[in-house]
Amino acid sequence: MANVGDNASTRLEDVLLIPQSISDINWEEIDLKTSFLNKTLSLPIIINAITGGTKRAARINAKLAKIAKNYNIPMAVGSQTIAIEIPELADTFTIARQENPAGVIIANISAFTKSDSMLKAIDMIEADAIQIHFNIPQELAMLEGDRNFKGVIKNVRELVDNSPVPVIAKEVGFGFSKEAIELLYNAGVRFFDISGAGGTNFIAIEDARQGMFAGSFNSWGIPTAWSLVEALSLEIPICVISSGGIRTALDITKSLALGANYVGMANWFLQLVLNNTDEEVANKLDNLIYCLKASLLMCGAKNIFELQKKPVIILGQTKDYLQARGIDTSLWSARN
Ligand SMILES: Cc1cc2nc3c(=O)[nH]c(=O)nc-3n(C[C@H](O)[C@H](O)[C@H](O)COP(=O)(O)O)c2cc1C
């Protein structure tokens, strides 16, 4: 293996669920409900941070917010920094709240943002939680990107101390290591969106634009399956969101079976609203839900709680990597 995440995969293909021929379950009993921030959600899926700041972004946020409302799932908006700097752009984000007044809406800012700006981001959309994103590789792949990352843990501690809503530490596609999670946990963070490698790749995107890395870092990052297990192996009381390359019902089921509380999907939802009519959007989402229920039933589980009691086998590169990281995966069973 040349690099961590070499093959630009989530490595969820190394995670095996055990098919159960005997599943004493009626389809009608299958229940995908879960709760998040004391609200009941219909599905364990979060529309992850994507956009805001332009007219086109506002239209996308409006469509995403309608989905969030119709399917009773949370939605995170894209980074609000631009609207804090240029308040006239706030409506490209507030549209998400207008479309879904009672829903779970999550704000988004950089982990380096100061507390007063964080409070503006939260107020702007009456957020139920705030994602603080960590994106060093993306910044380094940009000519105009940040170069000074000193003092971030101190800043995170201040953000957590001053936030009226839960703070979610979020990667953007390079995955958190267990060391990073421990540092953030000690700074007071209890919610983690691991956003691993294998999906949207911001090094590749920025490199295609400016060539700072000349293509040499396209495989950088911790694949989603690896980062997820690293987080869960810590056995600390945290809520973990699996994201980065989540595209299918099986990706979702595997993440939940490993022990994730929720999954986040960004590009899947973006492509969904960009390329489909409202009717097609509904059909594709209904099909995703159908496949999710089918996968639970085929595993012999009628809800997420039961799924997380099922054994999961971890093989291949993922097993090797996790073993090298001191994590025993011989018979991985989600946190219980
Ligand atoms: C077009 C686009 C814009 C994004 N903008 C943000 C952002 O503003 N803030 C953030 O935290 N993550 C942002 N992300 C990252 C996603 O939330 C997610 O972590 C990452 O794309 C991996 O998930 P995916 O493979 O499902 O896309 C963006 C992703 C996409 C595709």
> pLDDT of 103-115, one tens digit each?
999 999 999 999 9
CATH 3.40.50.1000, domain 12-333, yes or no: no
CA-angle at 316, arms to 314 and 321, nearest 5°: 85
Query: Where are the domains positioned within the chain?
Result: 12-333
Residue closest to 2 by CA, chosen among 325, 317, 314, 323: 317
Q: Whose CA is nearest to atom 15 of ligand 1?
A: 172
3-state class of 135 per DSSP? coil
In short, whether 133's Cβ falls inside 6 Å of ligand 1 is: yes
Q: Which of 195, 263, 269 to mutate to test the pocket of ligand 1 (most atoms within 8 A of CB)?
A: 195
Q: In this structure, which amino acid lies at residue 208?
A: A
Q: How far apart are the first and last CA of the chain?
A: 33
Is 118:131 a contact under the CB 8 Å cutoff?
no
Given a cut of 80, whether residue 15 has pLDDT beyond it is yes
Instruction: Bin 195: left if φ > 0, else alpha if -120 < ψ < 50, else beta.
Output: left
- Is 0.75 surpassed by the pTM of this model? yes
> Ligand 1 center to residue 200 CA distance, Å?
7
Q: Whose CA is nearest to atom 1 of ligand 1?
A: 50
Q: Whose CA is nearest to atom 21 of ligand 1?
A: 200
Residue closest to 225 by CA, chosen among 8, 15, 17: 15
Is 169:193 a contact under the CB 8 Å cutoff?
yes
Residues 6+ apart with CB under 8 A from 167: 129, 130, 132, 156, 159, 160, 188, 189, 190, 191
Q: How high is the pLDDT of residue 330?
A: 82
**Confidence grade of residue 3 (pLDDT, cut at 50, 70, 90):** very low
Given a cut of 90, whether residue 193 has pLDDT beyond it is yes
Beta strands 34-36 and 39-41, pairing class: antiparallel
> Ligand 1 center to residue 48 CA distance, Å?
7
Q: How high is the pLDDT of residue 332?
A: 80
Q: In this structure, which amino acid lies at residue 140?
A: L
Q: What share of the chain is helix, strand, coil (3-state, %, to 5)?
A: 45, 15, 40
Given a cut of 90, whether residue 281 has pLDDT beyond it is yes
Q: How high is the pLDDT of residue 1?
A: 33
**Confidence grade of residue 334 (pLDDT, cut at 50, 70, 90):** low
Name the CA dihedral angle for 167, 173, 178, 184, rounded to a multiple of 10 degrees: -20
Q: Which of 48, 82, 89 to mutate to test the pocket of ligand 1 (most atoms within 8 A of CB)?
A: 48
Beta strands 129-134 and 167-171, pairing class: parallel
Q: Which residue has the tokens 């073993």?
A: 323
Residue closest to 66 by CA, chosen among 109, 32, 105, 107: 105
> Ligand 1 center to residue 96 CA distance, Å?
17
pLDDT digits (tens, 9 = 90+) for 22-77: 999 999 999 999 999 999 999 999 999 999 999 999 999 999 999 999 999 999 99
In short, whether 46's Cβ falls inside 6 Å of ligand 1 is: no
In short, whether 227's Cβ falls inside 6 Å of ligand 1 is: no
In short, whether 78's Cβ falls inside 6 Å of ligand 1 is: yes
Residue bearing the bigger pLDDT, 316 or 7: 316
Burial 129-162 (b: 16+ CB within 10 A, else e): bbbbbbbbbbbbbbeeeeeeeeebeebbebbbee
Q: Specify the ligand 1 atom closest to the Cα of 49.
A: 17
Q: How high is the pLDDT of residue 4?
A: 44
Q: Whose CA is nearest to atom 31 of ligand 1?
A: 267
Given a cut of 50, whether residue 313 has pLDDT beyond it is yes
